[in-house]
Amino acid sequence: MTVPALTLNDGRSIPQLGLGVFQMEPGDTERLVGEALAMGYRHIDTAAAYRNEDGVGRAIASSGVPREEIFVTTKLWNRDQGADSAHRAIETSLEKLGLDHVDLYLIHWPRPDLDLYVETWRAMEAFRQEGLTLSIGVSNFTPAHLGRLLEETGTVPAVDQVELHPAFAQTELRKFTAEHGIAIESWGPLGQGKYDLFGTPAVADAAAAHGVSPAQIVIRWHLQNGLIVFPKSSHPERMRENLDVFGFELTGEQMAAIDALDSGNRVGADPDTATF
């Protein structure tokens, strides 16, 4: 199965669908990522804060899949913002992953209270120049945070990875990023089970019409919106199902019905106030 790829603003290619390993138990990560790679996944999204980079690295090393075919993202945790700390952090992540570079390195949260994300972004520019990462981006940045980066550094992030699902569709952010050529990655793409997304008529009716699961419908909604998505699952059968979303297409009416679920309600933390 070939997953479509998008071209980032730095010219690099990224698979539009991947596997997220947030809250994947460290002891299970190697096995599950290995199974995902065997299924055809080629995009793995991890982070220092997930405590499972080493398992991701072992899975990649033993998979038999050429390194250049696997897109690996990891993220800088909040306590490591600042130039010196960030450099130590990426070196630690690479050591745990067993890699000489990652494909994408992200600032995990802006933490405006620390006021270090601009300094950290300049360090990220250096990491790219040094070859420690091929692309650089951010996570959980609002238009205000992004605007400050652009104004003070002139370097446009390749991606912004944010909470995004039908009830929190991030319309204003997506307008801003589209204007600046920043790709959006959706975390929590299925709402993390924190509201009855699958029971809504918009999703349930589309699932019945196409003979697929509600989860597949929502993943397809992300893809057709041009979003990069990596649903997390620790169940191989669901991992396989989440990958099997290229044999059908939502109609304009079905897309509009799911779009109408947007209520502007987060299920995660607010980037302006999060201090973890």
Active-site entry in 41, 50, 105, 117: 50
- Between CA 58 and CA 29 the distance in angstroms is 9
Provide the 8-state DSSP code for 71: E
Residues 6+ apart with CB under 8 A from 32: 21, 24, 59, 234, 236, 239
- Between CA 114 and CA 258 the distance in angstroms is 37
105 is catalytic: no
In order of 20, 89, 147, 169, the CA distances from 82 in angstroms are 26, 10, 19, 31
β-pairing, 5-7 with 13-15?
A: antiparallel
- Between CA 272 and CA 269 the distance in angstroms is 9
Catalytically active residues, by annotation: 50
